[in-house]
Amino acid sequence: MKSRIRRPSRMSEEEKKALLAKILTGDPEAFTTEATEKEKIAHRLGWVKAVERMRPKISELSAFAEEVKGGFEEIIWCGMGGSSLFPLALAEIFGPQPGYPRFTVLDTDDPEVIARIEEEVSLEKTLFVIASKSGTTVETLSQYRYFWKKLEDAGIEPGSKFVALTDPGSPLEKEAQEKGFLRVFHHPPDVGGRYAALTEVGLLPAALMGLDLEKALSKAEEMFEASLPELPWEYNLSAWLAEFMTEHFVHGKDKLTIMTDPLLRTFALWIEQLVAESLGKNFVGIIPVVGESPGSPTVYGPDRYFVYIGLRGRENLYRRLFSDLREADFALKTYFLEDRYEIFAECVRWELAVALCGAFMGVNPFDEPDVVRTKQKTREFLSEFKKTGEFPVEFYLDEALGIGFLYAETTKIEYPRLSALVKKFFQEMPPWGYVGLLAFLPPEPELEEFFRDLRTLIRGRRQCSTIFGFGPRYLHSTGQLFKGGTLSGRFVIFTRKGRRPEQIIPGEDITFWDLQFAQAYGDFRALEEAKRPVIHIHLGENYQEDLKRLYDLFEEALRL
């Protein structure tokens, strides 16, 4: 799709309203006039009808949840990106509801996490939901095959413990029918994963958690009503956010810094995917910066602007920060939810705003053309590994630290010493750049905390934006932007030793560690191929200790 940027501030109110009206009526002309592209986009606009489509399904979803409630203590929701981030947000925002099964999202292939689930859950009392629109996502299918076999090995008939959520006719649907899954729910084929929060992808988990679906949809409906083209543009809640984002983008301020009340933390991950995968392509992008520690205005570069999502009654949390930012002339929008159910309304606001931004920026907000680069490389490395028993990679060894590392051709250094490399990596960093720290490690709060501190260190010394992502989660989110968006990102990928040979993925002859490593190394090579500076650091089994020593190395290397 050819980019043609339309600045909303230079368009008439009528033109803007007409564009929004097209989106809301499912007309792909809002985005393109090219016939093939139009055809594809026409099959991606079903989310605008989410409320009317889902209302008649409330009783079916609630009845199923009642059935599950009686028979299971635990639900493990397996999925990636659009198939998991909104369920993850709901689980954290609402927490466990009395009488309903514990709800856990599994969106990783990390060997430690897989082992923990095996140790902690009773397979007999666990329902696995296998959520994949395409029905082909490798992490999700691997989880499904692995736990299916565990049940078989334990002499439990697995079918009654599995539910699929997938597109009609997908390979997963066929397999689920053949193998006798308890239930198959359909993902709407005309809605992409990241726009699916108000479909079965969000409402099935909401029902299973015991939430009020009627209330959820009413909140969503209110936001649709507050976003209709008939309203004056500046009072249109979604359109106004789109204009705010696009105008900053046009002025070279491309770092949308999203801060939230700590209770809404995981909702920001859902927004992050929506913004990054929808708008980060064709060498442009709006870069969502999520999960940084709030800092004083001096640590932020001029490429930043801010959105805060908070809860009514807790407005004082960052009041001082808001006034400091505004005083320092940073643009800041604040949204306060009266009630946690307004999170469903926020989905509408952000989906509409991001789609509108795509229309203004001249990008197709419904594809993810660069995600495939890593998938291809991962497949290559895994097939090499299956043939030879080894990955085609040799790390340099930093003798002082005993840590392995690699760097892409784009990050040239003379001596293979990690400290020299890190120093150079940051010296070459442009002020408008950003750093992505990408950790193929267990997604746990302590590690997130460690990386938050590292981000604060980097930001403090370089005044740059920092992004963090656990792998492989980020591959289904910001990974698109990293490879397809602006060239201003540089990346550090972290992996660790610790293959668990017993964790064989059935039918694949590889372990979860092998898969995770191949994805990390695959992304390293994909980023290198896309000319993004990237370092791959391979930690030892005791990675927590290695990370502490690395922090010191970064601290030293970042001294001016």
What number of CA atoms fall less than 13 Å from residue 299's CA on the CB side?
A: 16
The CB-of-275 to ligand F6P minimum distance in angstroms stands at 13
Helical axes 13-24 vs 237-250, angle rounded to 10°: 110
Q: In whole angstroms, what is the distance from residue 72 CA to residue 558 CA? A: 51
Determine which helix (DSSP H) or strand (DSSP E) holds 288, and give its type and residue range: strand 287-290
The CB-of-169 to ligand F6P minimum distance in angstroms stands at 13
Q: Does 355 bind ligand F6P (CB under 6 A)?
A: no
The CB-of-145 to ligand F6P minimum distance in angstroms stands at 14
Q: Does 134 bind ligand F6P (CB under 6 A)?
A: yes
Q: Which of residues 428-487 bind ligand F6P (CB under 6 A)?
A: 476
Nearest to 44 by CA among 227, 165, 188: 188
Question: Which range in 79-87, 119-127, 386-394, 399-407 contacts ligand F6P by CB under 6 A?
Answer: 79-87
Q: In whole angstroms, what is the distance from residue 525 CA to residue 378 CA? A: 9
Q: Does 173 bind ligand F6P (CB under 6 A)?
A: no
Residue 131 or 151: the one with the smaller Cβ distance to ligand F6P is 131
Q: Does 370 bind ligand F6P (CB under 6 A)?
A: no
Q: Does 76 bind ligand F6P (CB under 6 A)?
A: no
- Contact assessment for residue 318 and residue 241, using Cβ atoms and an 8 Å cutoff: no
Q: In whole angstroms, what is the distance from residue 339 CA to residue 277 CA? A: 28
Q: Does 488 bind ligand F6P (CB under 6 A)?
A: no
Give the position of tokens 């020593």: 549
What amino acid occupies position 460? G
Q: Does 184 bind ligand F6P (CB under 6 A)?
A: no
Among 75, 114, 371, 408, binds ligand F6P (CB under 6 A): 371
Q: Does 277 bind ligand F6P (CB under 6 A)?
A: yes
Q: Does 205 bind ligand F6P (CB under 6 A)?
A: no
**103-135: burial string, b at 16+ Cβ within 10 Å, e else:** bbbbbbbbbbbbeebeeebebeebbbbbbbbeb
The CB-of-167 to ligand F6P minimum distance in angstroms stands at 8
Q: Does 87 bind ligand F6P (CB under 6 A)?
A: no
Residue 203 or 547: the one with the smaller Cβ distance to ligand F6P is 203
Distance of CA 35 to the CA centre of its chain: 30
Q: Does 133 bind ligand F6P (CB under 6 A)?
A: yes
The CB-of-484 to ligand F6P minimum distance in angstroms stands at 12
Q: In whole angstroms, what is the distance from residue 264 CA to residue 312 CA? A: 12
Q: Site map for ligand F6P, 514-543, x if CB under 6 A?
A: ------------------------------
Instruction: Report strand pairing: 162-166 vs 183-186.
Output: parallel
Among 140, 143, 236, 266, binds ligand F6P (CB under 6 A): 140
Q: Does 83 bind ligand F6P (CB under 6 A)?
A: yes
Among 346, 368, 514, 528, binds ligand F6P (CB under 6 A): 368
> For residue 308, what are the β-bridge partners?
259, 334
Q: Does 288 bind ligand F6P (CB under 6 A)?
A: no
Nearest to 24 by CA among 238, 252, 212: 238
**CA end-to-end distance (rounded Å), the chain:** 43
Q: In whole angstroms, what is the distance from residue 462 CA to residue 559 CA? A: 10
Residue 81 or 111: the one with the smaller Cβ distance to ligand F6P is 81
Among 32, 62, 126, 137, binds ligand F6P (CB under 6 A): 137
Nearest to 387 by CA among 509, 504, 513, 517: 509
Q: In whole angstroms, what is the distance from residue 97 CA to residue 90 CA? A: 12
Residue 27 or 190: the one with the smaller Cβ distance to ligand F6P is 190
Question: Which range in 76-84, 420-428, 439-447, 458-466 contacts ligand F6P by CB under 6 A?
Answer: 76-84
Chain residues binding ligand F6P by CB under 6 A are: 80-83, 132-134, 137, 140, 193-194, 277, 368, 371, 476
